[in-house]
Amino acid sequence: MSEPRPGDFAGVHTALVTPFTADASAVDLAALEAQVLFQASGGVAGVVPCGTTGETPTLTAEERRAVIRSVVAAAGPLGLSIVVGAGSNSTVSAIEYSAEAADLGATATLQVTPYYNRPSQEGLFRHFWSLADAARVPIVLYDVPGRSGVGLAPDTVVRLASHERIVAIKVANGSVGYVSELVQRCDLAILSGDDPLTLPMQSVGAVGAVSVVGNIAPGEVARQVAAANRGDFAAARAIHERLFALSNGLLGLDGNPVPIKAAMAILGRDTGVVRPPLAAAAESTRGAILELLSSAGIEGPAGGVTGSRSVGMR
């Protein structure tokens, strides 16, 4: 298997929700497949199952495998990358999850900084290096200190970038300066992990995004990223400005993926059901989301939200 170049991660990789049945007792695999097909129709480069947005901590081992199989079966023939969330705060477990993802057809794995136990920078380096040594598919690092409690220092990322299996990093720490430093110091593909910051991060060298808003507007997000990558920042900014209130608002209304699932329910793309300990969006939150969708001109399959444009369906 040939090694991917950083440019192979350019574009949008949508962080997929995991659809559940109305009582949350099972994964709705048919709805998951439909979501993958919707992503492909929008022109995204890939999809990311079993990440934060996918409520992975609430999935059983068999459900996780079923999600990966379903996404691989739907996305693989369409030429989409399949970057499976396979991280853990146990190095041994992360190696096992990564091997499982590779066996099931993942093209890469997303490896989050270990959460709860808060390792030192040397501990982080040894964790990711061990994963890379054992990996059979490329690794995308995932820096999200707001959830994990510890962040990857630039020096640590630069050290890790020398491993042939570590090819990209998803940056969800809110720092454009961090991206700018990494661009100057290593050749990893840098992906924005915060939708409102994708354009600013691309302006200093990021090549794409792992997008939550892509669940409802894959076409627009893909066009924004593509425009910035070809240097057409005027076109990219026009889309950024149209989606900014929605992207920014969803982050503040509730914890991910509650708002995006509520938005998908409003649009007829998901049940909106989340599993405990998450709770469904309050009615006031749903009202705010409806206003954000309308202001962005996003409609569901049947045009269920007012607006002159169907952002997700173009």
261 is known as an active-site residue: no
Q: What is the structure's pLDDT at 303? A: 55
Q: Provide φ and ψ at 225, rounded to 5°.
A: -65, -40
* HSE-up of residue 137 (Cα within 13 Å, Cβ side): 24
- CA–CA separation, 175 vs 167, rounded Å? 20
pTM: 0.93
Q: What is the structure's pLDDT at 309? A: 33
170 is known as an active-site residue: yes
Instruction: Find the catalytic residue in 97, 115, 116, 170.
Output: 170
Residues of the chain with pLDDT under 70: 1-7, 302-314
At 206-215, the pLDDT tens digits run: 999 999 999 9
Q: What is the structure's pLDDT at 307? A: 35
Q: Where are the domains of the chain?
A: 6-223
pLDDT > 70: percent of the chain: 94
Q: What is the structure's pLDDT at 312? A: 38
Q: What is the structure's pLDDT at 306? A: 37
Q: What is the structure's pLDDT at 304? A: 52
Q: What is the structure's pLDDT at 54? A: 98
- Asked if 163 contacts 155 with a C-beta cutoff of 8 angstroms, the reply is no
Contacts for 227-235: CB closer than 8 Å, 24+ residues apart:
228/198, 228/199, 228/202, 228/203, 229/10, 229/11, 229/202, 233/199, 233/203
Instruction: Find the catalytic residue in 97, 115, 142, 261.
Output: 142
Q: What is the structure's pLDDT at 3? A: 42
Closest CA to 112 of 149, 162, 81: 149
Q: Going by CATH, does the domain composed of 6-223 fall within 3.20.20.70?
A: yes
Q: What is the structure's pLDDT at 314? A: 30
